[in-house]
Structure 1
Amino acid sequence: MRGAKALFAGALVSASTLVHVPVLLLVALVKALLPLKAVRPALDRALMVITESWIGVNSTLIDVFTTTRFVVEGIEGLRYGGHYLVLANHQSWVDIPVLQKAFNRRIPLLRFFLKSQLFWVPLLGLAWWALDFPFMKRYSRQQLAKRPELAGRDVAATRKACEKFRHIPVSIMNFVEGTRFTPAKHARQASPFAHLLKPKAGGVAFVVGAMGEAIDTVLDVTLHYEPARPTLVDLFCNRVREVRVHVQARPVPAGLSEGDYETDRAHRVRFQGWINEMWLAKDARLAAWNAPGAARGD
């Protein structure tokens, strides 16, 4: 029975995608063909309304097809017109629909830095492109050894995206660990955190430096599942008992957007220390939630 419900839910998610994405692409095409400043704000708003509707339908399907308990803390006072940097631990592919469900229409659309290969995902790749998601091309060490000039292309793409984001309400999403948590990865890293992988500060530092004071607030998000690390199939098969999303708004420390992370060692140490402090607090929170007999969310 659960499998049949999950298949039906998946079919409805696919149907919603097939309805929303063509309309999204049509508006994006009009925007590209009519690059007039007078109409661009209206077209940009139309793109957001379509995307928020798409996310809203998917979130409603989660509510309809599951009995999963969602406990979301700390979202009071968020502004739809703000400029946010959203930093979260990465547990599962479920993280993305959970974050979208928690933040949809509360803050600007979450935008992720995506691998360039994802542009070719049917329908979704074009949708991400239409919504100005930055696509980043990663190069292997062998490629960089042969062509060192490639090393700066990701930086240039990030800077270009951030320049655009300075002038519009935006929420830039970053999974600071760089990959989903698994016990094997945790052991391989010898991570000093009990429930987290080591955070990578470089990408966050570049966004903060490129955006400068345009970043209003950092949203420090802790994600937790019961049972741990579910798949999307687990979610729609109603195997996830509880999802917890804890949000803590933080300021960017004074002067942290002004240094050069790549060349200034003192700035790099300070920036990594700031990220590590967040991760220590996040690890303690996860430890409390995982403790035997821990109280469930209200």
Structure 2
Amino acid sequence: MLPLRLALISLLIAANTVLHVVPLLSIAVVKALLPSNRLRLASNPLLTGLAESWIGVNNWMMDRFTRTRVSLQEDAPLQADGHYLVLANHQSWVDILVLQKVFNRRIPLLRFFLKRQLFWVPLLGLAWWALDFPFMGRYTRKQIARHPELAMRDIEATRRACEKFRAIPVAIMNFVEGTRFTPAKHATQGAPYRYLLKPKSGGVAFVLDAMGKGLHALLDVTIAYPGGRPSMMDLLADRIPEVRVHVRQRPIPEELLHGDYQDDRAFRARFQQWMNGLWWEKDEDMTRLLPD
């Protein structure tokens, strides 16, 4: 029965994707041909509406075909027209579906910073491009050491994306650990946290610098799986009994909105201290959300 179940769900997901992405791309082409920025901005609600409809159908399928229960704690008055920076810990690709289930149509469409290679994912890559998701090189330290100009490419891509985001309600999503948590990565890093990897502050700093006061709040999201870290296959096979999510709304410190993270060592130290403090609290939240 499991192979039949997986085939059926996969077929429904593919059909939902095609039905939404094809008209989305058609509107994106028309948007690109429009003669004025005002008209292009006016087309954005159509694009985001299609994306939110696609997510809504996926959420319906998650409710219909799995018994996964999302237990949500919120310390945040959410706004569908808000301007948010959303930070979360990262353990599984399931995290993205959980975030979409929690936030769809309750805050602006979540926009992720994506690896440039994901542009080539069939249909979805073009859809992310049409929705102005920024694509990043995410170069390694060795690559940047050999070619320092590569570091500026991602910084400029961040700035270009944030310029577009200033004009629309937005929720900029960042998994600041930079990769999914595994015990092996945790051990290699020597991370001081029990359940988390070390946060990487640079991307957050660049977004705050580029957006300035265009963001009105930080949504700090903690995702915990009492049954253990799941895979996407676990979700499709209905092997995730519960997901626990805690959402805190935090102010963005005024003194961190503008600063030279790359070249000002004192500012970088203050910024990293702030991020590390958030992560210590998140680790405590994970301890509370998970069973002993």
Q: Which band: TM-score by shorter chain?
A: over 0.9
Structure-1 separation of matches of 2:3 and 2:273: 46
Conserved? CA contact 1:108–1:171, under 8 Å: yes
Which secondary structure state, in structure 2, belongs to the residue aligned with residue 247 of structure 1?
Answer: strand
Please report how far the alpha carbon of residue 139 of structure 1 lies from its aligned counterpart in structure 2 after TM superposition: 3.4
Please report how far the alpha carbon of residue 166 of structure 1 lies from its aligned counterpart in structure 2 after TM superposition: 1.5
Which deviates the most, 22-31 or 270-279? 270-279
Structure-2 separation of matches of 1:278 and 1:142: 29
Partner of 1:44: 44
Conserved? CA contact 2:66–2:238, under 8 Å: yes
Q: Deviations along 1:85-137, whole A, 9 cap, x unmatched?
A: 00000010001111011100011110111111111111011000000000112
Structure-2 separation of matches of 1:102 and 1:273: 29
1:193 partnered with 2:193: yes
Which deviates the most, 139-148 or 258-267? 139-148
TM-score scaled by structure 2?
0.96
Q: Where in structure 2 are the equivalents of 1:237-252 lying within 5 Å?
A: 237-252=237-252
Structure-2 separation of matches of 1:251 and 1:116: 31
1:47 to 1:75, Cα distance in 2 relative to 1, 3 A: farther
Partner of 2:254: 254
Cα-Cα RMSD: 1.5
TM-score scaled by structure 1?
0.94
Q: Where in structure 2 are the equivalents of 1:91-102 lying within 5 Å?
A: 91-102=91-102
Please report how far the alpha carbon of residue 6 of structure 1 lies from its aligned counterpart in structure 2 after TM superposition: 2.9
| Code of the aligned partner of 2:156 | A
Partner of 1:63: 63
Conserved? CA contact 1:5–1:65, under 8 Å: no
Conserved? CA contact 2:66–2:236, under 8 Å: yes
The answer for unaligned runs of 5 or more in structure 2 is none
Which secondary structure state, in structure 1, belongs to the residue aligned with residue 167 of structure 2?
Answer: coil
Partner of 2:78: 78
Partner of 1:174: 174
Structure-1 separation of matches of 2:243 and 2:215: 28
Structure-2 separation of matches of 1:126 and 1:240: 31
Which secondary structure state, in structure 2, belongs to the residue aligned with residue 95 of structure 1?
Answer: helix
Conserved? CA contact 2:225–2:290, under 8 Å: no
Which deviates the most, 187-196 or 280-289? 280-289
Structure-1 separation of matches of 2:260 and 2:210: 10
Structure 1 stretches of 4+ moved >4 Å: 140-143
Partner of 2:18: 18
Structure-2 separation of matches of 1:141 and 1:253: 29
Conserved? CA contact 1:139–1:150, under 8 Å: yes
Which secondary structure state, in structure 1, belongs to the residue aligned with residue 256 of structure 2?
Answer: coil
Structure-1 separation of matches of 2:59 and 2:209: 34
